Amino acid sequence: MNDTVVIKGSKSGIILVLSPDASYETLKKDVAAKFQASASFWGAASKAISFKGYELSDEQKNEIIDIIQDNCQLSIVCIMEDDPLVESAFRKSIEDHAIKDKDISNTGQFYKGNLRSGQVLDVETSIIIIGDIKPGAKVISKGNVIILGSLKGNVYAGASGNPNAFVVALDMHPVQIRIADTIARSPDNPGKSAKYETKIAFLEDGNIYIEPLDKDVISDIRL
């Protein structure tokens, strides 16, 4: 394990060096063991991560991140590509993650990965999620929620009471959407749609409406 997985920590991020000679299954087990053993050292910090050594697909990167978060209290806020200024990029990512409440309406952060049943992503800013929200998963944001994937779980936007918050998804089939104090639920037997269509959910006159996202709707968005 010592040779297959090496964790290099910095103030803002983690560089995970994986042996190119090990199998992917071995790396997964060794990553789990490494972070479980060092869980007390890392605590509940928010970190960016960069991978070196082993060529990982996007799906494998997300799986490794899930393994890390399942075996310690670390929150991986983003994936950074190899960059000569990686430390600077790490620091900026973490600073953006800790943005103040007063800047929520005009700022946000990214999350890359799928949220599975039982997982909750609770953020202080608007959030852009690159992945799917599976049934049983939940997103809570004081700002807006944009999902570059499918929404089949629960979303709570405008959690600070902002009625102008909105939710966008490439595939919009939520169990429940809440904006500020208004809740909308999907029908028990939703009709099947043959095509994916980007939609936006917004609050107007006390009701939540879900409509296709087009130029007219975008021009009416209030930030």
pLDDT of residue 19: 93
How many other CB atoms are found less than 10 A from the CB of residue 113?
23
Which range among 9-13, 179-183, 210-214 has the greatest average pLDDT? 179-183
What is d(CA 93, CA 189) in angstroms, rounded to the nearest whole number? 41
Sheet-wide strand order for 46-52: 5-9, 13-18, 46-52, 75-79
CA nearest neighbour of 158 among 204, 112, 110, 94: 204
pLDDT of residue 100: 41
Contact (CB, 8 A) for 26 and 4: yes
Q: Mean pLDDT lowest for which of 39-48, 65-74, 103-112?
A: 103-112
What is d(CA 158, CA 170) in angstroms, rounded to the nearest whole number? 20
Helical ranges in 85-190 per DSSP H? 86-97
pLDDT above 60 (res 12): no
What rounded mean pLDDT belongs to the chain?
81
Contact (CB, 8 A) for 184 and 199: no
pLDDT grade for 10, boundaries at 50, 70 and 90: low
Q: Cα–Cα–Cα angle for 82, 83, 89, nearest 5°?
A: 110
pLDDT of residue 88: 58
CA dihedral sign of residues 95, 98, 8, 62: negative
More confident residue, 109 or 145: 145
pLDDT grade for 148, boundaries at 50, 70 and 90: very high
Contact (CB, 8 A) for 98 and 77: no
Q: What is the mean pLDDT of residues 100-118?
A: 67
